[in-house]
Amino acid sequence: MSHKVKPSVQSLKSMPADYRFLGSPPLSDTLENSSSGSSVSVTIPRNGHLKNGFKGTRDSVGGVDNGNEDSPYSVSNEDPVVPLPRSTDRRWSDTSVYARKKVLQFWVQLPCGNWELGKVLSTSGEESVVKLPEGNVLKVMSETLVPANPDILDGVDDLMQLSYLNEPAVLYNLEYRYNQDMIYTKAGPVLVAVNPFKEVPLYGNSNIEAYRKRSNESPHVYAIADTAIREMIRDEVNQSIIISGESGAGKTETAKIAMQYLAALGGGSGIEYEILKTNPILEAFGNAKTLRNDNSSRFGKLIEIHFSETGKISGAKVQTFLLEKSRVVQCAKGERSYHIFYQLCAGASPRLREKLNLTSAEEYKYLQQSNCYSINGVDDAERFQAVTEALDIVHVSKEDQESVFAMLAAVLWLGNVSFTVIDNENHVEPEEDESLSTVAKLIGCNINELKLALSNRNMKVRNDTIIQKLTLSQAIDARDALAKSIYACLFDWLVEQINKSLAVGKRRTGRSISILDIYGFESFDKNSFEQFCINYANERLQQHFNRHLFKLEQEEYIQDGIDWTRVDFEDNQNCLSLFEKKPLGLLSLLDEESTFPNGTDLTLANKLKEHLSANSCFRGDRGKTFTVSHYAGEVTYETTGFLEKNRDLLHSDSIKLLSSCSCHLPQAFASSMLIHSEKPVVGPLYKAGGADSQRLSVATKFKDQLFQLMQRLGNTTPHFIRCIKPNNVQSPGLYEQGLVLQQLRCCGVLEVVRISRSGFPTRMSHQKFSRRYGFLLLESIAAKDPLSVSIAILHQFNILPEMYQVGYTKLFFRTGQIGVLEDTRNRTLHGILRLQSCFRGHQARSRLREHKRRVTVLQSFVRGEKVRKEYTELLRRHRAYSAIQSHVKRRIAKRQYKATVDASVVIQSAIRGDLVRRCAGDIGWLKSGGTKRNESDEVLVKASVISELQRRVLKSEAALREKEEENDILRQRLQQYDNRWSEYETKMKSMEEIWQKQMRSLQSSLSIAKKSLEVEDSARNSDASVNASDATELSGSGGDFRTHGRTRSVGVGLSVISRLAEEFGQRAQVFGDDTKFLMEVKSGQVEANLDPERELRRLKQMFDTWKKDYGGRLRETKLILGKLGSGESGGSAERVKMKWWGRLKSTRF
């Protein structure tokens, strides 16, 4: 039998097995022959070279079909027209027999269910002998062996690169990467994230920058978020990131990481910080510790982040789904209620504790049920501070925060409200204890009204109102319903406040990225209504996943005429029909039974078994239990509490109680309940004799929310992240194969990889393709249709026919092909933009130079005109200044000349008069006789003495007035000193300067007084000597005695003033030195063991005492001087004013 291999294949025999050209498919897609029905299989021995082996028949080994079916090393003899075989042919040839003969590695499933890598030592019939790595040898059936990938493919970051795509290969690859802290792996378009249960060095600003610049291409949540934001900008289509997985798989943390990357790329306005701070709030109020997860989300969350035209975050909106209200009033052993209760009890300030009457978490019955109050490694007090900071950032006022905490405390205290039986019919009423009074105080209602709302029920029968007393169980249900309603309304109110803070407003552009973090699939020993709704939501999300990746993918291939081999996948439509079918679906029957007043959990279970037993996904069990076969496995539900939780009734009495509260939050809660109760419904839930708070059942509302969510997600381009939980004990480094395999099967990872590897994930319409890449063609395309243009583009860039297919309306490309075109387009556009920028830059520079030239000319004219105007103004001012100066100088010169002339005339007159008098005196002396001369001289001497005395009296009076004025000035200054010393303690530095000024003023005054007295004394002495010489004979001894007395009195006055001045100087020096020293001590420049403040006060007292004493002595001195002056005065003012030359003349005459 002869076989012929293509030349292109012959040239590749020495290449490595996993070698691929850039943009080319796996080697298997090109190794195909056109001979007979036999096939050539190419396998990889341990040395890594290709070898050809031939076989005439196809072996079908049961356990190996799935693995060999996708082996890229098989070759077909037929030369097909298209790269993919028809649906009637097998995709991959079977190489298991050849591999076993070459002693290759295989996967062996141990009795415990785990897979182990082994080598086939020998094969005999249907059995094979396998050697495990530990040295153990097993004999297994050959059909159970699954081929393993070569070592070179260990730890690949994309499961599409695996040669053999089977369950153990995927498990081993994920475990290999998990042990090296590489927790992210691509599975085609899906990102698989394995929870490490520890901190891994894969986050931070450096990693964000690396993925932003695309310098790191490893799988990561950052890469998914980067792809979403780039596609949103490029395609102008809203994006969504759907995060799914079991409880504890890390969905919440993954959502926060995606938000962190989007905030880093789209940040700048500050709102991204508010978006990130919503996580602590929503986690505190919506997350709780469960047996499987320490931070389990007990609600669903969709965060829609809006972007502006420039790609910056402009706002966000948060939507929540189905909060688990029952956790408020009951918790299983080992679990906790919502985190915020424990955080409030641990982190509230003493003032808040006193206001809310808070105690420790162990004191509240709602929190006592689980006997679990803390989480290892979590500080609730620290988390509470983070929550309060986050509330501040999202603009929740301090007053509203205290109201929120008051509602939380009221819920806790409601759990402590107890009841007392009051009659034989088991009717009860609440006990008036601390719990009841605290609840009434916190919500702001009357305690009697609260008692009535918890123990009585008003029922309307026609036009009458009947008051019915509640039994113990009914009262407890009413109390718990009130607590659940308050908490649920509080949660909704917080979400509303967050949305107001993050509101987009006028900045809305229509572009958004939605991040869905919803509860994962749950299956416990006892599953109730919450698990029923959660698993229904996961069924709906799985349907969306299947629809996007499987159904729509394959249907679009068929509709566009693409040659395609259909891939079978597990469809969950049958299970969804079980939930949603009308009128005989789980939800319809549940709502129907909820409308019956006498409906019970047992009647619900019997009704479900009666109508749904024919469905393959439903199985009725004994009692109140039934089993649903979900996509992730079978879950057994117990109908206990189904009807009550579905009705979620809050009686009208409780609503009225909340509306009557003085606090604004309970009033808002009551208004919200009344608004919801007025919405129209189909098949209203009405309980005879009561008024419920909502007429829509919980299941119906949740179903409507899910349909709206699916509709919204359907209008976006989805990006899927599948979170995997490696173990149930939340231990880092522990990898349980069975648990991981179950989750991989549930999310259909293998099917996704098969479709992605053999399909065409990238598609584009002919019009869009030609419009986007048509400008790259070298020839004109004006007259060509879009299909022709598209084909021309593909041919110009030498894209292999195997890499694309042309459909009726679209072009379909394999992975990576559109990236080549996009890179070429970006490079071309970049070159065009560079050229345009250079040309525009040249134009701009030319225009700038011309503008500069014109501006320079214009500025020169403007500046010249401005300078000329300024020069003219300066010249005018200069002339005016010159004229003014000439006038002023002329007036000054005239005044000086006139003063000089007047002075000269006076001097001349005085000199001439003196000369005339001298001459006249000599002549008269010669003519006068002796007797007559003596008589006239005596008369003249007496007249001159009298005039001299009068002159001295007038002068003394003037001096006395001057001294009195000086005394007034001194008294004013002393008053100023008193005022300033009163402010001395506060103005130490300024006070010292004032003292110095005062002392200089006093000293100058004393010196002036002293000088004036000295001048007077000298004048008196000179006059006395002149008079004595001229009238020696006439004055006699009497004149000498008077002159002597006046001289002595003046000397005494001078000595007293000198002593006062000396004392003043000494005291000034002493006070100045003391003040300076105390100031240095007070400023710290000098160290001394004394109190500067006290010493300053003491110094001030000493200064005041001395000042008072000094003032008294100064006044006494003034009085003495005044008396001396008054004794000497005795003549008239006219005689004092006589000139000395007049006296001399009269004397001589």
* Order of strands, sheet of 804-806, starting from the edge strand that comes earlier in the sequence: 762-765, 810-813, 804-806
Per the listing, tokens 């992605």 go with: 756
Dump strand ranges (E) for 553-617.
none
Distance separating alpha carbons of residues 709 and 510, to the nearest angstrom: 17
Q: Which of 63, 300, 347, 520 is catalytic?
A: 520
Cβ atoms of 673 and 656 within 8 Å: the answer is no
Cβ atoms of 153 and 18 within 8 Å: the answer is yes
Instruction: For residue 356, report the phi and psi dihedrals to the nearest 5 degrees.
Output: -95, 0
Element (H, E) at 1082: helix 1032-1083
Cβ atoms of 666 and 414 within 8 Å: the answer is no
Instruction: For residue 338, report the phi and psi dihedrals to the nearest 5 degrees.
Output: -65, 145
Residue 723: HSE in the Cβ half-sphere, 13 Å Cα cutoff: 26
Distance separating alpha carbons of residues 221 and 223, to the nearest angstrom: 5
Distance separating alpha carbons of residues 223 and 239, to the nearest angstrom: 14
Q: Between 573-580 and 586-595, two packed helices, what is the crossing angle to 10 degrees?
A: 10
> Is residue 967 annotated as a catalytic residue, yes or no?
no
Please give the torsion angle defined by the CA atoms of residues 523, 527, 529 and 534, in that order, rounded to the nearest 10 degrees: -10
Distance separating alpha carbons of residues 708 and 519, to the nearest angstrom: 17
Preceding amide of 583 cis, omega within 30: yes
Q: Which of 188, 248, 250, 415 is catalytic?
A: 248
Q: Which of 28, 163, 185, 247 is catalytic?
A: 247
The CA distances from residue 335 to 294, 485, 519, in Å, are 9, 21, 17
Q: Which of 244, 296, 572, 944 is catalytic?
A: 296
> Is residue 561 annotated as a catalytic residue, yes or no?
no
Q: Which of 163, 240, 287, 293 is catalytic?
A: 293
> Is residue 247 annotated as a catalytic residue, yes or no?
yes
Q: Which of 522, 553, 751, 948 is catalytic?
A: 522
DSSP string over 257-286: HHHHHHHHHH-SSSHHHHHHHHHHHHHHHH
Distance separating alpha carbons of residues 1058 and 1006, to the nearest angstrom: 8
> Is residue 295 annotated as a catalytic residue, yes or no?
no
Element (H, E) at 346: helix 339-347
Distance separating alpha carbons of residues 800 and 1065, to the nearest angstrom: 114
Distance separating alpha carbons of residues 368 and 363, to the nearest angstrom: 7
Per the listing, tokens 């308050």 go with: 486
List Cβ neighbours of 505 (8 Å cut-off, separation of 6 or more).
315
- Which pairs from 477-481 meet CB under 8 Å and 24+ separation? 477/644, 478/453, 478/454, 478/651, 478/654, 479/414, 479/415, 479/417, 479/454, 480/329, 481/649, 481/650, 481/651, 481/654
> Is residue 415 annotated as a catalytic residue, yes or no?
no
DSSP string over 299-311: SEEEEEEEE-TTS
Both tokens of 606, joined, read: 């019997």
> Is residue 615 annotated as a catalytic residue, yes or no?
no
The CA distances from residue 526 to 331, 783, 923, in Å, are 13, 70, 158
List Cβ neighbours of 700 (8 Å cut-off, separation of 6 or more).
587, 591, 681
Distance separating alpha carbons of residues 1028 and 1009, to the nearest angstrom: 28
* Order of strands, sheet of 74-75, starting from the edge strand that comes earlier in the sequence: 51-55, 39-43, 74-75
Distance separating alpha carbons of residues 330 and 307, to the nearest angstrom: 42
Q: Which of 252, 326, 438, 1027 is catalytic?
A: 252
Q: Which of 297, 416, 693, 956 is catalytic?
A: 297
Distance separating alpha carbons of residues 421 and 983, to the nearest angstrom: 78
Residues 106, 107, 109, 112, CA torsion sign: positive
Distance separating alpha carbons of residues 40 and 31, to the nearest angstrom: 9
> Is residue 520 annotated as a catalytic residue, yes or no?
yes
Return the active site residues: 247-248, 252, 293, 296-297, 520, 522
